[in-house]
């Protein structure tokens, strides 16, 4: 026994030293990173996962894989020592080498924690038994898998993938599994009751793994492990590669993802129920009535929308009033670990456009329902127009307002000389050019015309085909969904260029009919100029109207555009508030491509107008 | 002479392959025994059974006068083994390997190991990875002899060596064997090697012993009959291949041959070919 142990220590001493040193450094680092975890002992849990895992894999690899792939096992077999003895010595040596740094780490953790946590002997024993049992399980597993030689990576991959699938698809959370449950977050808080069932199951699995290890080592007089340690044949490699790629592709196609828990808002005014429930957060006593009215309207919007488009589900909709953002800015929160649609707006602010906000909420609901497919560029104009149309369909005042905005948008787009069908198909560029308010109005005008031309039934058929179908959130959707052209054809809509011509005529008629277009604003020149600075950098000067003119408050919006950057949404634009000409607060490098525009609020249209928007390259 | 080991009717199968099919051998103490066979005839399997690395499916082993089903660790301590391709720890020097191996043998002779390294010209401070194939084989021999084993098993020890290194290895082996009187059992498919070293020879083919005995007796009992027309000898002659026959020396001498018949003595290589060439190769 002794010479074998000494041989192992001598062979792996530098790796062990590095491992132990990294454990020591890791320990020092961990002690500082667990302040938010409720107990300094949480660092021990991290130590088990990170350094314990690293140690287990390293030890199994060094003790087993190296011996068999180096064929030195054949040399050992010629010596007067039994095969079982060799395996037992290796296994025990590895276990002790794993235990030493982990025990030392645990002792250090206890020492650090002693000043902050009450440490009873039972508590210490509980943590030690849980951690030790888990590590022993992990080591036994790694040792066994290491014996499978050329298939060890395949087995690890299968194990990890299997655990992931069970966790994700079978709704069986990994942290509740017996071995892993031992080192769950409660590990460092549970002081009284040992998790007997988890311990028993883990011990049983560990015992099975140890027995399996010896069976594998001794089977066919050790020739099985030796055979497994040979390299994969080209055919095996191909089979494994194909199997892995196929499996991953297959999993990528499956829709049965683990549903996220619904988002919750504790203090909110709630309207509606089920799929059309809307919750508006309370911000103070005075806003409750406004919140209730808004919640009722939005709930009604969603409920009717579900009927209209035959939606099978709807998101939980939450509204967070936010006085800190501009009245024309609406934002949707990203929810990484919960489900629902959470939108923010300056509800109650002076210029807050409630209809615009409701349309935005409807659009976000459809985005949620179609997993973002409703916002594809070929149909985006229809989505923007449809959501506006949906909110404005019973309000002639709103329709008048939208008509005026659309007329201005048409003027700014120079519809008389532009190809409107191309503009509709490249709608994201139109949005970037006109801004949200005018582009939404233009889209509404197109949809209003479309409803008129194809009739309400066929329009409903078209919107249901494009926005009312629920697809899996994976690659299958690409095969199942209707293309815009197909849906358009099936709705018996006129040929797209013909429709665009009709829209041009309608917009030109609107421009003649609507007298309230603020010519003065549109005709103010918007000028952006780059001026070279020292060192090859440029500053950008902006001006609205005449030199030194004082204007109503306006905002300069700008952004540097990176390669492959798609539509610039409002959130990605920087903003400078101004009343007169000035210089952007940042400089740009030569050759940079930037987007610049000026936005100002028009009270007559109740709309933020975007003027002089363009992408341009610095010299 | 007492028996060093006796294998009787040993059978061993690896899956579909019958590696040993009733092999029997008897090796006396103090003799050098050459174990001849083609590649795949079952030589390595026989040696691995003797080392306790694999077990026989059937048959009995008598080792150092003791009948046993398997070779135990205590019996292995009395055997030295040099494998076909020594797989030493590449990071160990000869000295470190000696220290490591010595722990497993109560009879290890440290001075003898140093002497052997000197005699065999093996540098004791170079890592095994840096040694040539011939030097590694000689290191294997030193490691096998240092515990002063009663039986030395060599599995084609010179297979990968050039002629000079092979001759050097043979010289050292014979010198050591003469000094110690160790029983040497070595396998080979090189007839010249066996002829040069062995006092007795065993020929194995397809897992069976085709011949076992004295080299001189073997050459005397196997001869070629050249006759025209073809002459078929009487009972007592065993036809090995074409015109090569085996019979007792007395029968060869007492038989009256037709006029014109020539009885030709054969080299050991011709005899080996006669025994093995027509047979089917079965295992490794």
Share of chain A above pLDDT 70, in %: 94
pLDDT at B239: 84
Q: How far is B222 from B243, CA to CA, in rounded Å? A: 11
Do both A161 and A278 map to the same domain?
A: no
Between B20 and A35, the higher pLDDT residue = B20
- The closest CB to that of A80, out of B90, B91, B105, belongs to B105
Confidence bin at B68 (pLDDT 50/70/90): confident
Question: What gap in Å lies between CA A121 and CA A119, rounded to an integer?
Answer: 7
Give the tens place of pLDDT for each residue, B27-61. Answer: 998 889 999 888 888 899 999 999 888 888 999 99
Contact list, B105 vs chain A (CB under 8 Å): 80
Largest CA distance in chain A: 106
- Per-residue pLDDT band for A287 (boundaries 50, 70, 90) equals low
- Please judge whether A82 and B73 are an interchain contact, meaning their C-beta atoms are less than 8 angstroms apart: yes
Interface test with A, best of B50, B54, B55, B103 (most A CBs within 10 A): B103
Same domain, A487 and A539: no
Are A138 and A53 in contact, with CB atoms under 8 Å apart? yes
Q: What distances in angstroms separate CA A431 from CA A343, A437, A519, A603, B266, one per listed residue?
A: 20, 9, 21, 21, 102
A375 within a domain of the structure (yes/no): no
Q: Do B53 and A77 touch (CB under 8 A)?
A: yes
User: B91 to chain A, minimum CA–CA distance in Å?
Assistant: 8
- Cβ-defined contact of A78 to B77 (cutoff 8 Å): no
Residues A228, A290: one domain? no
From chain B, the residues in CB contact with A81 under 8 A are 73, 104
Higher pLDDT residue, A203 or A266?
A203
**Domain span holding position A303:** 260-369
Does any domain span residue A131? yes
CB atoms within 10 A of CB B228: 9
What pLDDT is recorded for position A67?
A: 86
Nearest CA-CA distance, residue A107 and chain B, Å? 35
Q: Is the dihedral of CA A36, A260, A343, A615 positive or negative?
A: positive
Please state, in angstroms and as integers, the Cα–Cα distance from residue A330 to each residue in A319, A323, A326, A436, following that order. 10, 11, 8, 10
Minimal C-alpha gap between A65 and chain B (Å): 14
Residue of B nearest to A220 (CA): B54
Same domain as A186, residue A95? yes
* B111 in contact with chain A, both atoms CB, cutoff 8 A: no
B165 touches chain A (CB under 8 A): no
What's the mean pLDDT in A400-424?
89
Considering the domain architecture, whether residues A81 and A186 belong to the same structural domain is answered as: yes
Q: Give a yes or no: residue A431 inside a domain.
A: yes
Q: Does the pLDDT of residue A337 top 60, yes or no?
A: yes
**Alpha-carbon span B117 to B100, nearest angstrom:** 15
> Could you give phi then psi for residue A25, rounded to 5 degrees?
-65, -40
Q: For B74-121, how does the pLDDT look when each residue is reduced to its tens digit (9 = 90+)? A: 899 999 998 888 889 989 999 999 999 999 999 899 998 998 888 888
Per-residue pLDDT, averaged over B224-252, amounts to 82
Helix, coil or strand: residue A262: strand
Confidence of residue A450 (pLDDT cuts 50, 70, 90): very high
Shortest alpha-carbon distance between residue B95 and chain A (Å): 13
Q: Which of A494, A517, A540 finishes a domain? A: A517
In what helix (H) or strand (E) does residue A268 lie, and over which residues does it extend? strand A268-271
Helix or strand holding residue A613 (H, E): strand A607-617
**Closest Cα in chain A to B77:** A80
**Whether the predicted model's global pTM rises above the 0.80 cut:** no
Alpha-carbon gap, residue A356 to A362, rounded angstroms: 10
User: CA of A576: how far to CAs of A451, A547, B263, in Å?
Assistant: 40, 18, 117
pLDDT for res A170: 66
Give the one of B55, B86, B104 whose C-beta lies nearest to A80's C-beta.
B104
Q: Is B107 on the interface with A (CB under 8 A)?
A: no
Does B87 reach chain A within 8 Å, measured CB to CB? yes
Q: B32 pairs with which residues across the strands?
A: B184
Hey, is the C-beta of B281 within 8 angstroms of any chain A C-beta?
no
Short-list A593, A539, A591, CA closest to A562: A593
CB B23 within 8 A of CB B208: yes
- Torsion, Cα of A597, A603, A604, A607 (10° steps): 50
Domain count, chain A: 4
Percent of chain B whose pLDDT exceeds 70: 97
**Does the pLDDT of residue A498 top 90, yes or no?**
yes
Is residue A545 domain-resident? yes
Average the pLDDT over A237-266 and give the result.
Answer: 77
The two tokens of residue B127 are: 């890592």
Q: What order of strands is seen across the sheet that includes strand B244-246?
A: B238-241, B244-246, B222-226, B262-265
Q: Are A361 and A422 in the same domain?
A: no
Percentage of residues of chain B with pLDDT beyond 90: 19
Assigned domain for A374 exists: no
Q: Which helix (H) or strand (E) holds B151?
A: strand B151-155
pLDDT of residue A30: 67
The end-to-end CA distance of chain B, in Å, is 31
Q: Does the beta-carbon distance from A78 to B103 stay under 8 Å?
A: no
What pLDDT shows up at residue A34? Answer: 56
* CB contact B244 to A (< 8 Å): no
Is residue A446 domain-resident? Answer: yes
Where among A483, A517, A551 does a domain terminate?
A517
C-beta atoms of B91 and A11 within 8 A: yes
How far is residue B76's CA from residue A176's CA, in Å, rounded to a whole number?
51
Asked if A513 and A523 sit in the same domain, the reply is: no
Contacts of A2 in chain B (CB under 8 A): 103
Per the rule left: phi > 0, alpha: psi between -120 and 50, beta: everything else, A447 is: alpha
Residues of A in contact with B87 (CB under 8 A): 70-72, 74-75
Residues of A in Cβ contact (< 8 Å) with B44? none
Neighbours of A137 (CB within 10 A): 23
Residues A481 and A568 in one domain: no
Residues A598 and A488 in one domain: no
Q: Residue A549: which CATH number?
A: 2.60.40
Contacts of B74 in chain A (CB under 8 A): 80
**How does residue A496 score in pLDDT terms, banded at 50, 70 and 90?**
very high
Q: Is residue A328 part of a domain?
A: yes
A376 occurs within a structural domain: no
Residue A420 near residue A496 (C-beta atoms within 8 A): no
Torsion sign over Cα B93, B95, B98, B99: negative
**A188 close to A41: Cβ distance less than 8 angstroms:** yes
Q: Is the domain of A288 the same as that of A363?
A: yes
Mean residue pLDDT across chain A: 86
Across the beta sheet with B17-28, what order do the strands follow? B17-28, B3-14, B58-63, B66-68
Q: d(Cα B89, Cα A70) in Å, to the nearest integer?
A: 8
Strand order in the sheet with A278-281: A268-271, A278-281, A317-321, A341-345, A331-332
Mean pLDDT of chain B: 85
Residues of A in contact with B77 (CB under 8 A): 80
**Number of C-alpha atoms within 13 angstroms, CB side, residue B177?**
24
Chain length of chain A: 619
Phi, psi of A514 (to 5 degrees): -90, 120
Domain end call among A253, A286, A301: A253
C-beta separation of B10 from B54 below 8 A: no
Across the interface, which of A2, A72, A223 has its CB nearest the CB of B89?
A: A72
pLDDT at A520: 55
CA distance A23 to A105: 8
The verdict on A483 and A575 lying in the same domain is no
CA A496 to chain centre: 36
Q: Which residues of A touch B (CB under 8 A)?
A: 2-3, 7, 11, 70-72, 74-75, 77-82, 221, 223
Residue scoring higher pLDDT (A113 or A608): A608
Q: Which of A3, A7, A75 sits opposite B87 (nearest CB)?
A: A75
CB-side neighbour CA atoms (13 Å) of B13? 6
Please tell me the distance from the alpha carbon of residue A137 to that of residue A210, in angstroms, as a whole number. 9
Which of B53, B85, B97 should we substitute to test contact with A (largest number of A Cβ atoms within 10 Å)? Answer: B53
pLDDT of residue A37: 57
C-alpha A229/C-alpha A64 separation (Å) is 10
Tokens of A579: 């009343």
Tell me which chain A residues have a C-beta less than 8 angstroms from the C-beta of B151. Answer: none
A355 and A281 in a common domain:
yes
* Chain B residues with beta carbon closer than 8 angstroms to that of A74: 83, 87
Distance CA B51, CA B154 (A): 11
Whether ipTM > 0.85 holds is no
Of residues A251 and A602, the one with the higher pLDDT is: A602
Confidence bin at B216 (pLDDT 50/70/90): confident
Please give the structure tokens belonging to residue A239.
């089979």
Query: In this structure, what token pair is assigned to residue A492?
Result: 């018996």
Residue that is written with structure tokens 């936010």 in the block? A322
Say whether B88 and A74 touch across the interface (CB within 8 A): no
Distance from CA of A8 to the nearest CA of B (A): 11
Q: Residue A69: its pLDDT value, please?
A: 83
Long-range contacts of A411-420 (CB under 8 A, 24+ apart): A411/A511, A411/A517, A411/A522, A412/A438, A412/A522, A413/A442, A415/A504, A415/A507, A415/A508, A416/A504, A416/A508, A419/A500, A420/A500, A420/A501, A420/A503, A420/A504
């Amino acid at each position: 026994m002794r010479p074998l142990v000494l041989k192992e220590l001598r062979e792996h001493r530098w790796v062990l030293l590095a491992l132990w040193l990294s454990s020591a450094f890791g320990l020092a680092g961990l002690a500082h990173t667990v302040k938010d975890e409720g107990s300094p002992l949480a660092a021990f849990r991290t130590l088990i996962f990170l350094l314990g895992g690293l140690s287990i894999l390293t030890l199994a690899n060094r003790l087993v894989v190296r011996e068999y792939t180096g064929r030195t096992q054949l040399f050992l077999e010629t010596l007067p020592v039994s095969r079982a003895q060799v395996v037992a010595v290796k296994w025990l040596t590895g276990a002790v080498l794993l235990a030493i740094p982990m025990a030392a780490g645990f002792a250090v953790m206890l020492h650090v924690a002693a000043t902050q946590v009450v440490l009873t002997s039972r508590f210490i024993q509980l943590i030690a038994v849980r951690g030790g049992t888990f590590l022993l399980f992990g080591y036994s597993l790694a040792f066994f898998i290491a014996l499978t030689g050329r298939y060890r990576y395949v087995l690890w991959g299968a194990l990890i993938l299997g655990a992931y699938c069970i966790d994700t698809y079978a709704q069986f959370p990994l942290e509740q599994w017996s071995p892993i449950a031992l080192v769950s977050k409660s590990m460092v808080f549970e002081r009284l009751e040992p998790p007997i069932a988890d311990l028993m199951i883990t011990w049983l699995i560990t015992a099975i793994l140890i027995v399996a290890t010896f069976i594998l080592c001794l089977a066919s007089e050790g020739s099985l492990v030796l055979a497994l340690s040979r390299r994969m044949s080209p055919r095996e490699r191909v089979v494994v590669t194909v199997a892995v790629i196929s499996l991953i592709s297959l999993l990528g196609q499956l829709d049965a993802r683990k549903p996220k828990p619904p988002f919750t808002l504790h203090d909110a005014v709630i309207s509606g129920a089920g799929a059309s429930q809307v919750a508006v957060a309370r911000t103070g006593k005075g806003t409750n009535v406004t919140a209730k009215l808004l919640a009722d309207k939005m709930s009604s919007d969603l409920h009717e929308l579900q009927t209209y488009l035959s939606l099978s589900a709807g998101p939980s909709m939450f509204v967070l009033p936010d006085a800190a953002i501009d009245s024309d800015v609406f934002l949707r929160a990203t929810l990484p670990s919960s489900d629902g649609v959470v939108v923010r707006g300056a509800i109650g602010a002076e210029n807050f456009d409630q209809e615009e906000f409701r349309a935005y909420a409807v659009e976000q609901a459809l985005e949620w329902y179609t997993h973002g497919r409703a916002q594809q560029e070929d149909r985006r104009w229809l989505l923007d127009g449809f959501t506006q149309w949906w909110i404005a369909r019973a309000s002639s005042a709103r329709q008048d307002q939208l008509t005026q905005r659309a007329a201005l948008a048409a003027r700014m787009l120079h519809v008389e000389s532009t190809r409107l069908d191309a503009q509709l198909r490249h709608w994201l560029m139109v949005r970037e050019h006109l801004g949200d308010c005018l582009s939404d109005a233009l889209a509404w005008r197109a949809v209003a015309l479309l409803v008129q031309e194809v009739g309400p039934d066929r329009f409903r058929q078209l919107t249901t085909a494009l926005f009312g179908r629920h697809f899996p959130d994976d690659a299958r959707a690409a095969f199942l969904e209707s293309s815009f052209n197909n849906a358009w054809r099936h709705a018996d809509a006129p040929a797209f260029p013909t429709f665009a011509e009709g829209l041009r005529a309608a917009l030109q008629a609107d421009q003649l009919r609507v007298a309230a277009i603020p010519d003065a604003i549109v005709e103010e020149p918007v000028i952006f100029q780059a001026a070279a600075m020292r060192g090859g950098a440029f500053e950008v000067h902006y001006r609205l109207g005449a030199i030194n003119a004082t204007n109503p408050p306006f905002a300069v919006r700008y952004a540097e555009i990176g390669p492959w950057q798609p539509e610039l949404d409002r959130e990605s634009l920087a903003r400078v508030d101004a009343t007169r000409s000035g210089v952007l607060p940042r400089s740009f490098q030569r050759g940079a491509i930037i987007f610049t525009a000026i936005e100002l609020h028009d009270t007559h249209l109740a709309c933020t107008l975007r003027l002089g928007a363009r992408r341009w390259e610095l010299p | 002479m007492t028996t060093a080991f006796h294998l009787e009717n040993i059978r061993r199968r690896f899956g579909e392959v019958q590696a040993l099919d009733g092999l029997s051998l008897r090796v006396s103490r103090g003799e050098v025994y050459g174990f001849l066979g083609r590649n795949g005839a079952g030589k390595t399997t026989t040696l691995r059974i003797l080392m306790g690395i694999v077990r026989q499916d059937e048959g009995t082993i008598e080792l150092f006068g003791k009948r046993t089903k398997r070779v135990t660790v205590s019996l292995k301590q009395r055997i030295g083994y040099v494998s076909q391709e020594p797989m030493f720890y590449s990071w160990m020097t000869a000295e470190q390997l000696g220290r490591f191996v010595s722990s497993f043998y109560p009879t290890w002779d440290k001075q003898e190991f140093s002497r052997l390294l000197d005699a065999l010209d093996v540098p004791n401070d170079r890592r095994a990875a840096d040694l040539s194939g011939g030097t590694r084989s000689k290191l294997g021999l030193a490691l096998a002899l240092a515990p002063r084993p009663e039986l030395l098993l060599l599995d084609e020890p010179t297979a990968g060596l050039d002629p000079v290194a092979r001759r050097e290895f043979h010289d050292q082996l014979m010198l050591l064997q003469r000094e110690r009187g160790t029983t040497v059992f070595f396998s080979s498919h090189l007839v010249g090697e066996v002829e040069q070293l062995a006092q007795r020879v065993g020929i194995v083919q397809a897992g069976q012993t085709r011949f076992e005995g004295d080299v001189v007796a073997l050459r005397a009992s196997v001869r070629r009959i050249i006759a025209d027309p073809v002459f078929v000898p009487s009972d007592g002659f065993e036809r090995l291949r074409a015109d090569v026959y085996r019979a007792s020396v007395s029968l060869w001498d007492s038989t009256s041959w037709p006029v014109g018949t020539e009885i030709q003595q054969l080299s050991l290589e011709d005899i080996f070919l006669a025994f093995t060439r027509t047979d089917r190769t079965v295992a490794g």
